[in-house]
Amino acid sequence: MKPFMVVLYLFTAVSFCNAGGSRFSGSQQNAEVMKHLKRLNKRPIRSIQSPDGDIIDCIHISHQPAFDHPFLKNHTIQMRPNYHPNWINDMNIKVTSSPPPSSSSSLYKDKGIVQLWHVNGECPNGTIPVRRTKKEDILRATSVKRYGKKKSFTTVAQPSSTDPDNISQNSHQHAIAYVKGEYYGAKATMNVWNPKIQQINEFSLSQIWILGGSFGSDLNSIEAGWQVNPDLYGDNNTRLFIYWTSDAYQATGCYNLMCSGFIQTNNEIAIGGSISPISELHGSQYDITILIWKDPEEGNWWMQFGNGKVLGYWPSTLFSYLTKSASLIEWGGEVVNTAANGQHTTTQMGSGEFPEEGFGKASYFRYMEIVDESNSLRDPKDIGIFTEQSNCYNVQMSTDGNWGSHFYYGGPGRNPNCP
């Protein structure tokens, strides 16, 4: 039987975040901000106050921001994927249960990761949870137009780039593992931390990148993971996030549901919501599993979070290169270093520890897999690693029977070897 469908139309590569303009002053600015707030914050069926200060609005699925654009009239909402990659139902969101052979099992507890707003309620069927945008959130952006967007067009690690001028001019730094080829998705389990951020306009994240095209103005990217981003959210909470772009972060795409694009179908997970608990140095390690894959029938890119929670999809019509397949998969960490006062900042990546510290201290990605042309999850081959400044943040690859393909990564930022 065909899945239940709702009819709407998705205009190719349109980003609804393009409303607004440069930062204004006085009444003109206020009018632009209030207009954008009205556009983002739909009338909720139910609102839930989260202990972390967020307000989660339960929005009717057909009223979500993805469908605000006047051209979004005839797209058919795919309520569930037609196909899952092999072994998808084996994934869990829980405390790691199989540490490397040299690790202590005492660092594991039988307790899963949750979103804090669940303490005070849940969204009914037929709705999706959306974190309410506040006026001060938009005012922190450089403009209404740029709200919810990455501020730099050079945010993806370029493993083949060794030009020191490009590296020094790019405030984004990475510690990643990657594979090149033809791919239809990727999966990994990553432990969750709360890295310290020195400047409000910096962030630290860990994620999967699904990439297509060159590193020029036509780069396609689908991204998902966790992040600490005080400029975007107004706090230092660790949050689940997604991102997409079809033109190298220039005009299209945004974080979470802050523009038209990603279509959410799940009523349990708030994208952009806080996640808890967090891994501790020498303490319990908590991790999440993320899978992104291309439905071979409809062509949409689906995301699953944890134990079978399919969140929704990016319609294939948003993209050019990713309409067919991805050519590069990256797993790992990214930070923004503003070089405050002419020095590298102390913004941490991952746990803030270097990878050689190992389990219980360093951040990790484990069970790395790719989705191949037969819609099967496979161990990646010919994995490379890359970082721009290994004395600031580094990555260390490993393979064993318990964790499959995995790596440790991260670092403290400024230190005696990273001035």
Per residue in 270-299, pLDDT (tens digit) is 999 999 999 999 999 999 999 999 999 999
Q: How far is CA 83 from CA 202, 301, 324, in A?
A: 38, 11, 16
Residue, of 152 and 42, whose pLDDT is higher: 42
Do 159 and 174 form a contact (C-beta atoms < 8 A)?
no
The structure tokens listed for 301 are 């890119």
Do 207 and 225 form a contact (C-beta atoms < 8 A)?
yes
Cβ atoms within 10 Å, residue 52: 16
pLDDT of 215 strictly over 90: no
* pLDDT, position 21: 40
Mean pLDDT of the chain: 87
The structure tokens listed for 48 are 């839930």
DSSP per residue over 164-202, as a string?
Answer: HHHHHH--EEEEEEEEEEEESEEEEEEE------SSTT-
pLDDT of 69 strictly over 90: no
Sorting pLDDT into bands at 50, 70 and 90, what band is 154?
A: low
* pLDDT, position 108: 41
| Element spanning 377, H or E | strand 377-378
Find tokens 């303009």 and name the residue.
21
* Burial (CB count <10 Å: 0-12, 13-18, 19+), residue 13: middle
If we measure between CA atoms, which residue out of 281, 304, 229, 306 comes closest to residue 410?
281
Radius of gyration, alpha carbons of the chain: 20
If we measure between CA atoms, which residue out of 218, 40, 212 comes closest to residue 130?
40
If we measure between CA atoms, which residue out of 204, 192, 228, 162 comes closest to residue 392?
204
Report the range of poorest mean pLDDT among 27-31, 194-198, 330-334: 27-31
Q: Give CA 303 to chain center in angstroms.
A: 11
Separation of first and last alpha carbons in the chain: 61
8-state DSSP, 215: S
pLDDT of 361 strictly over 50: yes
- Which positions are annotated as active-site residues? 223, 334
Residue, of 371 and 5, whose pLDDT is higher: 371
Per residue in 338-357, pLDDT (tens digit) is 998 889 999 999 999 999 99
Percent of the residues in the chain that have a pLDDT greater than 70, as a whole number: 83
pLDDT of 9 strictly over 70: no
* pLDDT, position 110: 38
If we measure between CA atoms, which residue out of 106, 177, 109 comes closest to residue 334?
177
For residues 227 and 195, what is the distance between their CA atoms, to the nearest angstrom? 9
Report the range of poorest mean pLDDT among 299-313, 373-387, 398-412: 398-412
For residues 355 and 272, what is the distance between their CA atoms, to the nearest angstrom? 27
* pLDDT, position 111: 52
* pLDDT, position 28: 83
Residue, of 6 and 141, whose pLDDT is higher: 141
Report the pLDDT averaged over residues 210-226: 94
Per residue in 80-131, pLDDT (tens digit) is 999 999 864 434 333 444 556 455 444 544 357 889 999 999 999 999 999 9
* pLDDT, position 63: 92
Report the pLDDT averaged over residues 10-37: 60
Residue, of 171 and 1, whose pLDDT is higher: 171
* pLDDT, position 402: 86
Angle subtended at Cα 269 by Cα 364 and Cα 84, rounded to the nearest 5 degrees: 70
* pLDDT, position 89: 41
Percent of the residues in the chain that have a pLDDT greater than 90, as a whole number: 73
Sign of the CA dihedral with 188 first, then 14, 157, and 419 last: negative
